[in-house]
């Protein structure tokens, strides 16, 4: 199939953190309104919309499946196709992909995508047992939770690749420094390596600061085909590649690489016609500190086993080869599951527009977004990658 060129014409988001005094409808509507205004189009020009969220069992009237319709009605968008997506921590990216494909295929010309979550009031018990309390899989009950998984990974990386606790702490210190420059970040206080190392232990060797925090918030984007964007004379950022993979879950895979990441990256680079050496910056899924180092390698920023060295040599910081997580990443910006993927894209758009303030990557022209979701047998369930260019 010949796909049309798709661009991001508008972005909008809320601050990540606690919004306990607001409804989820209000939070999502704020991001959507900002994105539409940023795009410079009217809300009635939106032809299709997809919302992403994973934890909203407390949605209005219990209708968590109809949240896109509930949210968009508030801002005057009705009567068009509206869908919801859920794909673990890659939920926002899945929502973005849905609208991207509908425009790329020629089905629609202008679409709106948003991700939202109000995790501070979500029913964690119902999230844990979304299908039944009698499910036979008991991995979580035996401690194989997200922090447990990444604790095991970190230990394996330390043994096999020589990654150190100090390097894990440097990831956090770097991203918290970026987060301190981002007014939308959940955690805006910088931390030192020593503070990270001496924080409360969560899952050895991971301390509190090495784990992302959950929160409330929303992010949205307006997408359209390039011809429509040119007709409106809009300044836009091109989606050069959009890829979504699932895991292969091999029995012989170790804990120091994600096969889904490697395959998704290869497909994305081929689709965009570039290589990792052409990237200026990236937003990667650093839900836990060892993940960022792992992603350096799996996404081709450096050779396997050299992620710690890539970090130590400053290649992922301002002035480096590929500046990583200027938003603050999940470790500082926060991880609002439904909104994370679209928020990452929003950060890249700001950078490529040259409007990221004192965290701006000078001369940025090509950025990669990486967002993973779910976990089965040493592998992500989903890996989404977008490459954006100007």
Pairing of strands 206-207, 237-246: unpaired
* Token output for 218: 């929303």
Show the DSSP H helices in the chain as ranges. 24-39, 67-74, 91-104, 124-128, 146-161, 165-179, 193-197, 226-231, 259-272, 289-298, 307-312, 329-332, 337-353
Continuous H helices in 107-164:
124-128, 146-161
Tokens of 302: 């450096």
Contact 147, 203 (CB under 8 A): yes
Residues 6+ apart with CB under 8 A from 115: 51, 52, 53, 91, 92, 95, 218, 219, 220, 336, 338, 339, 340, 341, 342, 343
Give the active site residue among 55, 87, 89, 212: 89
Cβ neighbours of residue 270 under 8 Å, at least 6 residues apart?
none
d(CA 324, CA 72): 33
Contact call for residues 117 and 339 (beta carbons, < 8 A): yes
Q: Which two tokens stand for residue 314?
A: 């400053």
User: Which DSSP state fits 370?
Assistant: E
d(CA 319, CA 322): 8
Backbone angles phi, psi at 335, to 5 degrees: -120, 90
Tell me which residue of 207, 177, 187 sits closest to 195, measured CA to CA. Answer: 207
Alpha-carbon distance of 91 to 94, in angstroms, equals 5
Structure tokens at 1: 């199939």
d(CA 224, CA 233): 12
Does the active-site annotation cover 212? no
> Which tokens hold the place of 311?
């970090």
Concerning whether 335 is annotated as a catalytic residue, the answer is yes
Catalytic residues: 89, 335
């Amino acid at each position: 199939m010949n796909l049309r060129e798709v661009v991001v014409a508008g972005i909008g988001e809320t601050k990540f953190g606690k919004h306990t005094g607001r409804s989820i409808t209000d939070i999502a509507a704020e991001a959507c309104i900002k994105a539409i205004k940023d795009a410079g189009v009217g809300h009635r020009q939106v032809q299709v919309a997809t919302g992403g969220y994973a934890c909203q069992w407390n949605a209005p009237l219990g209708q968590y499946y109809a949240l896109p319709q509930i949210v968009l009605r508030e801002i005057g968008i009705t009567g068009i196709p509206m869908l919801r997506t859920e794909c673990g921590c890659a939920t926002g990216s899945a929502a973005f992909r849905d609208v991207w494909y509908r425009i790329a295929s020629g089905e629609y010309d202008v679409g709106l995508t948003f991700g939202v979550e109000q995790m501070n009031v979500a029913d964690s018990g119902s999230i844990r047992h979304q299908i039944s309390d009698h499910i036979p899989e008991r991995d979580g009950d035996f401690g194989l939770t997200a922090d447990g998984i990444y604790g095991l990974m970190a230990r394996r990386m330390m043994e096999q690749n020589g990654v150190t606790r100090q390097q894990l702490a440097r990831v956090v210190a770097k991203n918290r420094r970026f987060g301190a420059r981002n007014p939308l970040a959940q955690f805006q206080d910088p931390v030192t390596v020593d503070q990270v190392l001496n924080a409360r232990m969560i899952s050895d060797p991971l301390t509190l600061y090495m784990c992302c925090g959950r929160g409330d918030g929303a992010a949205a984007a307006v997408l359209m085909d390039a011809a429509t964007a040119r007709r409106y004379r809009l300044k836009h950022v091109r989606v050069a590649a959009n890829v979504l993979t699932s895991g292969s879950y091999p029995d012989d895979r170790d804990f120091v690489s994600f096969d889904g990441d490697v395959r998704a990256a290869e497909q994305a680079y081929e689709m965009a016609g570039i290589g990792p050496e052409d990237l200026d910056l990236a937003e990667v899924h650093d839900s836990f500190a060892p993940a960022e180092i792992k992603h350096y390698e799996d996404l081709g920023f450096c050779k396997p086993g050299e992620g710690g060295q890539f970090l130590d040599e400053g290649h992922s910081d301002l002035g480096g080869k590929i500046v990583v997580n200027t938003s603050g990443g999940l470790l500082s910006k926060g991880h609002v599951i439904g909104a994370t993927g679209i928020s990452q894209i929003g950060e890249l758009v700001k950078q490529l527009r040259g409007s990221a303030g004192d965290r701006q990557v000078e001369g940025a022209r090509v950025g990669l977004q990486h967002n993973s979701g779910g976990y089965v047998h040493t592998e992500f369930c989903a890996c989404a990658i977008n490459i954006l260019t100007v």
